[in-house]
Structure 1
């Protein structure tokens, strides 16, 4: 809701300016659009023009003897481009007062706040395990000034989902072995974004889950096949997607060890 502050009139021939609104900005809602468009209706009386001003003071009043701001005759006004000041969620207010033909000024009416934010989140980062043999990993996220985060295995802002930013979140890596890039995009309430990423190496075929591919993994795979295994296997060691650990995994493990690759 727009806040309106009305100061007692100086002139008796013009009333307060009614129905002040911004087509592109909601009151008290952060926006990265750095110019504010304002329109308003004609007040009662006989207005010849309007004194208008944008600033950060919600209590501004036009002085009848030496009014500041600009004098316009139209029923619309656009703010300066506040982007040059790099506002980081700064509240701006629009002040207006009608003037009659004698130059006397009516009541000052103030609309706002209109919050402008053109500064993206800062100090962004993601901490993840460098090497893993499980598909679901824990990501530790940080970003100053961010409210949401988008995580993806594809690219920044693509193929993932937005969620409220928390300190930690679980994430499932893409299929296959080797290096996996997790793309992280942070956003603030105004929609400014900042990107970072993490690279994680996935060790396929790690049956015992110790993040090292070794002959014992092949032995355990064959024991599972024959029903003689005593330990519960890592389910993400399944390399061919059949939902089982067995011959294919044992062969894969021995080949990878021979090649010294993951």
Structure 2
């Protein structure tokens, strides 16, 4: 029998189809990883500023966030351990919100009334930070993510803690964000994120992944402020775009969230004893 032969055109078409399938798989898995954030933003679009049936908007968004979170746990999309980690993101984010909106700081504000405001911050706000943690946890599983050349966990934890504290202390002792960012960049210089969209492992520098995620969160923040969920001082008269420097802040917060996930996974793997 004659040997099968493939023309260059056939080979090129096969490659294009393969790339297309891989891209679609990656897009689908990313969409699943963003499920909590996506559903929450649908609620932001749909819930009017005047509220629903006498329930203020912020309270309605809190109720919707709780329903989404409960459904994800009930459906098995998140485990109880993952929910515990997400609650940690919620608490850290809410603490930052309380500080940033306090009378002496006023980095931003929540202008609308709500029954579920605590210390001037609506309780739904913590879910916006939890959504970042949920995305990382979901993407880790769906894309079979792993990190090569991860720095020592204690050093990563130290840098992440310093980054988080700087969001508080820079109001009093100066902003050391860029020094800490440079330290983080050096610490993770060799770190590579390995992920599998379909059948082939792909690699990306961890720093690039953090910057890209931070960019999309910055876009989401522009949407949130456009719909009046919260407002920065320069947006009180009329809406204006969130300053691009917030992109760097979100990228650093994503690094902090990523560090929490990796450290929790490391601890769990260390203490777990197979049956």
Taking structure 2 as the reference length, the TM-score comes to 0.20
More strand per residue: 1
Return the structure number with greater helix share: 2
With structure 1 as the length reference, what TM-score do the two structures score? 0.21
- In our comparison, the structure showing a higher alpha carbon Rg is 1
